[in-house]
Structure 1
Amino acid sequence: MIPFEEAKKRIKELRKEIDHHAHKYYVLDDPEISDVEYDRLMEELTELEDKYPELKTPDSPTVRVGLRPIDSFKEVVHEYRLFSLDNTYSAEEVTQFDKRIRETLNINLVQYVCELKIDGLSISLKYEDGLFLRGATRGNGFVGEDVTENIKAIKSIPLRLRENLSIEVRGEVYLPKDVFNELNKIRAESDLQLFANPRNAAAGTLRQLDPREVSKRKLSAFFYQIVEPERYGLKSQSEQLGFLKTIGLKVEPNYEVADGKEDVIKFWKKWSGLKTSLNYAVDGTVVKVEDFHSQQELGYTTKAPRWAIAFKFPAEQATTKLTGVTLGVGRLGTITPVAELDPVQLAGTTVKRASMHNFDFVREKDIRIFDTVVVEKAGEIIPQIVRSISDKRTGEEQRIDPPSQCPVCGGQVGKEREEDVALKCLNPACPAKLSRRIQFFCSRDGMDIEGLGEKLVGRIVEAGLVKRPSDLYKLSEGDLLELGEGIGEKTAAKLIEAIEKSRKNPLFKLITGLGIPGVGSKLARDLSNYFGSLQAVISASEKELKEVSGIGEQLASDIRNYLNASGVREEIEELMNYVNTQEESVGGVKPLRGLKFVVTGTLPSYSRKEIQEKIMELGGELVSSVSKNTDYILVGENPGSKEGKARSLGIKIIGEREFEEMVKS
């Protein structure tokens, strides 16, 4: 048994470390360690406090759920506390859990409900007479944050229930994996930091101050609990889940009623192997006593129900050797360290490379070349280094230091701002930056120049034929033929034809191709529709930029700074000599320019996607919620609560026929 003074010292260290990680996770939505590592710290602290109960204090992490939320949103005091769950990773501990339940209830067999544990963000919603009233995050279990407007932007959550009930429900907001992948793709193209996993992305999204940004990210939610379910005549967890579905709330469909611990373990084993087939991240199963009367008899500890436990899946981790480091340079010059690994199987794929995020991360985790490292798939998708195993070092390991010069051009490197994490190449003429920039300009979302892929762009840049995007429009077939191998007359002619075709592209494709940080194709279209010309966009003040839906103060500043950067304005002005820069010159008259539309209900002649695209093509702007700034609400069948709100605000309400009259040429 560890001596008292040593235990006292270790408990103090653990509390400090756990509080740090809890703050990063619960308050900042920026976790530094995996759930497995966090749970290990908690387990060690719990064991020490159990051995020395006199060292347990009221502010220990073991007796509270989390930390006080930040003040970005109005605080919500939960009328009924949101508890956390105790975790287990082994069948043996589940057996002990079952034994304790049976002994307390004095029965031989306990029925449980096994549900998949969604890896997202806990929420509590209130409905009054069937209408959505308020949404709040869990926070520390006692006090959360009011995210009502953001909840309204989640389309899987009904604004009106199927029954006129006053009810409070609990659930989990999550980001589907396919949406997560697309979101990270867009962020990579805009040279923004990638989200580590879907949970982190969901948490960050729900805490956005602008509901319009939340709407763009396509969050979803599952529900699993009703506050005081007995008020609605419910007697068990499976009845509760069925009732939630009946009133129109989304329930994770794979739950099962289990007869005893053997069925519980069987369910856990089955989904340990099947979890990657789902389009949402799950990190275990939740095991709950089925009968509500039995739940009440079992009660709660200071932080968790005694009648439920989280049976976590084994971490998707593997151990391998880090054999080298590759330095990548993005189109904005960001230098990223990527670990080269001995091939290892992880979550069904062979992993040879893994992200190390940035050099601050490498330093903090003390990761070295030739280290044995633990690799995991963040959100079961992106391979990343978790930590090194220093006990296995031989003395041959080499430190990974930030480069003193750009690995591609040899230019100066540094951080653009003191608070930045990213190390960048500061040479505006860096060929790696240029190559990436040209690739993005030619991409499908950008100017969509068919045939100009990564390899060919690299050859063109290396040959000195192109030093900036505008140089593409000065190329001749003869220039391309000089590249030699693989470029014949037919290929050269096709490439020149594709370049010529791009001159007439819609303005929003040009704006996308410019690679303005934070501006993807959707926002580029909004900028094009709002300002009408490239000249107006590049001349807009921060105040004018903020008038465009989806652009807040920080993004407006980032756009303005980028457009003012050395060489950027000159390049844009050069491009204006070769390509379309006027919204009016493509697609004719824009009768909806400057008008904000909300679409609700089902239209007779258009799908939701078709009507949205038509509004944008004709210069209109789509918004997700009705406000005093909305110009029109286009209403179909079963419009929901938006029509009522529009009437109360005096917003013009039109149907499909009136819309068609508006847009007649």
Structure 2
Amino acid sequence: MDEIPDEVRSKIEKLRKEIEYHNYRYYTLNDPIITDYEYDMLVKELQSLEEKYPSLKSPNSPTQRIGSKILQGFSPVRHPSLMYSLDNIYSFEELKEFDERIKKLSDHDEIEYVCEMKIDGLSIRLKYEKGELVLAATRGDGEVGEDVTDNARTVRTIPLILSEAIDVEVRGEIYMSYTEFKKLNLIRQHQSLPLFANPRNAAAGTLRQLDTTEVAKRHLDSFIYTLENPRKYGVKTQWEALEFMRKMGFKVNGESRIAKNVDEIKEYLEWCEKRREEIDYPIDGAVIKVNSFEIQENLGFTAKAPRWAIAYKFQAEQVRTKILNVTVQVGRTGTLTPVAELQPVRLAGTTVKRASLHNFDYVKERDIRIGDTVIIEKAGEIIPQVVKPVVEERVGNERPVEMPKTCPVCGGPVGKLDPQDVAIRCLNPYCPAKLEAWIENFASRKAMDIHGLGEKLIKKLIETGRVKDPSDIYTLDKEFLSKLEKMGEKSAQKLIDQIEKSKSLPFYRLIIALGIPMVGETTARLIAKRYHDLDALQNAKKEDLVKISGVGEKVARSIEQFFSLDKTKEMVEKLKSYGFKGSLPEQKILSDRHFVITGTLSKPREEIKNWLLSLGAELSENVSSKTDYLVVGENPGSKLDKARKLGVKVISEKELYEMIDQLSKTSS
């Protein structure tokens, strides 16, 4: 092979940087400084050199944005830290409550916020190494997303090469503009294909196309708004982060504002809602974030969302229609939901024929009747719901909505688990409508953690009649599984290994898996401290259960009722006969030790937290005088300074593992 001249390498590198710069000027800044012809000549020159020297081709070359691959599928990607969703608010009163809560939790009288438009698209995580794009992943469930790197490379506003050769991760939103959405639906209409309901659905469907050429044709766009590990780059605020990302070449929304109080936030929200009708990209609200990263770190997160940010959602579009009938759906957890069957009507781009009535208390409070003219809207612009009846248009033949006396699916009894609960549920734990969700819960990560037993396979197992309750999972064998569609012997053996492994998990995991009404992870841990096996728990009486700190009378009654059922007794006996080691107690080597974690660790933080909890540790978001250990990863925040001031012992991740290893040997 002939050696490639250095001047050719230099020329190709220079052309790529030059073209990327002009892409940034044109697509991100909307401010080109060369003509289309001059731009095309640069691209042609680069294409010519890459064809002549194919070994120098790169997936991050601007020539690859047009798309040229047919993908086989999308690989799962585990995020280094949880991609949280945001809590939603819908009123100025809720906004004031959020501000007051932030001030109280942070112990600051004044808080500066950054207000950003809430783009209605698809969340994306981008990873760069030495300034080059190496990964684009969807949010997925927040822990695991999908690798969509090849498709993301077709998005013109996602830089393939940054202005500086740094390692960095950012997060943002991929969306489709209204202009491109209309063009796409017009093409699909001519091709007699189903139309997309809205730009968000179109963007999501496009990003999961297996043909990258088709993705490129649809002209997706992006806005980036989150910088991971900002302190690594000397960035101290969200506003500084937006400017930093802009300088790196990312498209950052120019409609963001700094607000020093709730009145300024309100002004922004009002302005933003007016702008909604003028801009060419879909927004469904605004995001309000605490500007200071130090304050953000101190505020921390709940289980689902950051405490330092909130999404203000705009009011949905409303229309009138008529309720023709009301049917009842039984959800995966047994909840009976009344559903209004409607006279078809157009709402937010789609034809709506059915709408949720939420629950029977909702129907009663609003006096919604069959035959009523009603106002409907889309909750979060997705799920149609009935807002209220138009009482003045009643003619006298409207009928009340009756609550069913038995479950529409199994015929079993219905009622409330708790008198304060609004939901009416099927009280039969073995109702077929609940079986799929029950099995999914049993196999979930927090319960028996059976990898490979997913939603599609569970459906197949239920359809075959092989699995009638969770205990039947332990009757599955390699011969049966390998005959199922898309399974095979290798996959079957892996699943069998996972099922067998689950038998040795701590007892509280089995309690979670059983799906006892009103018993979650926290309660399961409390119960497992008192009862170490199935026999003991099955025979526990309500008066004994309530003696456990944290277990109230309602929960105790629910547990007693669950184990009093004949089918539960049968299932417990089967679990024991299949060799389930339900008597294995939790290790308590970290009992009464308080931990706080800061910085980036080698594993997802939630994984390490759950592991520490399983060993009996107590965990907190903030350092205090009660903290025994601060576990420090890369780029620690202000928690490290606070720990040092309070004299809290600071240990690395490696030291944590060594300490637990030593404690395990000592206790064994």
TM-score of Structure 1 vs Structure 2, range by shorter chain: 0.3 to 0.5
The TM-score, its normalising length taken from structure 1, stands at 0.47
* TM-score of the two chains, using structure 2 as the length reference: 0.47
